[in-house]
Amino acid sequence: MGQASRIPPISGQRLEQLTALLASLGIDPVASGEPTGAGHLQADATALAPIEEALTHTSAGRGRNHEQLEFLGDAVLRLAAAEFLERRHPSLSVGQRSALRAQLVSDRWLAELADRIELAPLLRLGPVALGDASGRATVLAECCEALVGALYRLGGSSRGGLELVLRWLEPAWERSSAELLADPDRHNWKTALQEWSQGRGLGLPHYRCEEMSRRHGDPLRFRAWVHCGCESPATGVVLCSGEGWGGSRREAEQQAARVALAAIRQPEGWSGER
């Protein structure tokens, strides 16, 4: 009772927000007492309690929060993605499916999905999370994954829950998988550049990164450079190079690798001249 007693009741206004969210996911809420069918959920405070739980971040300091549903959502998300790929892309090899699924369930993808469905205004956050702009994407990804777990639970778990999750995610996965199959290196440019460099006997790409701003949340906080072909651009032939900016070191290096790959793929190629 300790935890449950600290869960504030869902107000009428909040209930309207949650039912509107479900409708935007392609799930039709119905009034309490009405029959439900495929793709429908009861729209009352008791039935939608898992949705409220999924949108309550640990930083809010409430009795229940998103963590347990995030744990469930992680497993459900991977299973749903595997089923989606089996249905839509049966010709892909196991290795190709694994690589594509990794992109479709990544924190980056979840954070982008959360932005598309405008999840941020619905989250219950504490002061620390509210003031941490650099952690925004992580919070969005966590609560979006918890929302997957909540839908699975609301659907009765097992097959019904999985179908609810797929009803929401399949259209988004259709778009993302088409983009990723057209550009396999999308969002994974560092790995692609490393494979290119090592495949030509050039060893690992050389990265250098500098912090250009101390402001958290600044999308241009870090600047990165990458080159392949020698220890230093001043002492040998550089076969490719790139420069990128990002809000984190990883993001800046990814952007630098993307620029380098784009240069490699230009019709005229790189001759080693700077």
User: 204 with 191: CB under 8 angstroms?
Assistant: no
Cβ partners under 8 Å of residue 117, min gap 6: 21, 24, 25
Indicate the Cα dihedral angle 173, 179, 182, 184, nearest 10°. Answer: -80
Q: Which of 28, 74, 218, 251 is catalytic?
A: 74
Question: Do 144 and 80 touch, CB atoms closer than 8 A?
Answer: no
Question: Residues, the chain, total?
Answer: 274
SS3 36: coil
Interhelix angle 158-182/94-104, rounded to 10 degrees, is 100
Tracing tokens 């196991």 back to the chain, one arrives at: 94
Could you write out the three-class secondary structure of 128-185? Answer: HHHCCHHHHHHHHHHHHHHHHHHHHHHCCCHHHHHHHHHHHHHHHHHHHHHHHHHCCC
Please indicate whether residue 145 is annotated as part of the active site.
Answer: yes
Tokens coding 81: 């993605």
Q: Which of 53, 70, 145, 163 is catalytic?
A: 145
Is there a catalytic annotation at residue 74?
yes
Q: Is 221 buried (19+), middle (13-18) or exposed (0-12) by CB count in 10 A?
A: buried
Active site positions, annotated: 74, 145
